[in-house]
Structure formats: C-alpha cells, structure tokens
C-alpha cells in the first residue's frame, strides 16, 4: 500500500503512508517477532558491509552496499512498528504510522505483510 492522500499541518494535500497491518490486534508475539526481524536485519547489514569492504570488484562492492542499505531500511521499518505492537524501545517516541517516511514504503509493506500473514 504505497501511499494515501492526506493533508499536512498547513492543510496542503500530501502523500502519506497507509499501513496495512494497522488492523491487526497487538500481541506480545508480534512485538517479539519484530524485534527478531530487526536483529536479523542488523546482522544482515553487518555481513553485507563486511563483504563490501573485502571485495575487489567495484560493481560487486556497489551491489553489496545497496544490500546493506536495504537491510538498514528493514531495521528502521521494524523499529517504527514495535511501539504499535508492544513496549517501545527505551527513549523511543512512537510515531504515528501516517507520518512514517515514504522512502521506506517497500520495507514497511514487506514487514506489514509478514505480520498479517503470520499473525493476522
């Protein structure tokens, strides 16, 4: 669900994120799964960064950097969703889903689909 039409604080029309998992009942299992998926994304990013530093081919290094960036976006998507399904991380202020960055749409949808399929 890429985006929905909404208005900003000034009343101007702007695209916002429409979250498909917002109607799933929050449970401890979902919160735990999000934390696990976030850890996987962190590990994946670290592995891609390690490989990127040790590869000689410039194109391969560029590809590995893109993979590492994708894992970072997955990590951010999980972090944004955690407060909506359980206790937020320390010092984390929950952000309304409609305010989540549109540059994370693909990753947010991917994680939301996993939630809906596994827990919905």
Per-residue pLDDT reduced to its tens digit, 37-64: 999 999 999 999 999 999 999 999 999 9
What was the pLDDT predicted at 108? 92
d(CA 31, CA 29): 5
What pLDDT does 23 receive? 79
- pTM: predicted TM-score of the whole model, two decimal places: 0.85
Rounded Cα distance, 86 and 32, in Å:
8
Burial of 65 (0-12, 13-18, 19+ CB in 10 A): middle
């Amino acid at each position: 669900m890429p985006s929905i039409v909404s208005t900003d604080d000034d009343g101007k029309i702007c695209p916002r994120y429409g979250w498909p998992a917002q109607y799933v009942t929050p449970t401890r299992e979902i919160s735990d799964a999000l934390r696990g998926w976030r850890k996987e994304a962190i590990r994946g990013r670290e592995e891609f960064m390690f490989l990127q530093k040790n590869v000689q081919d410039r194109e391969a290094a560029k590809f590995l950097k893109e993979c590492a960036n994708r894992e970072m976006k997955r990590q951010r998507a999980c972090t944004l969703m955690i407060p909506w399904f359980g206790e937020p991380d320390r010092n984390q202020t929950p952000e309304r889903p409609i305010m989540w960055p549109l540059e994370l749409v693909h990753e947010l949808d991917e994680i939301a689909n996993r939630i809906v399929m596994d827990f919905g």
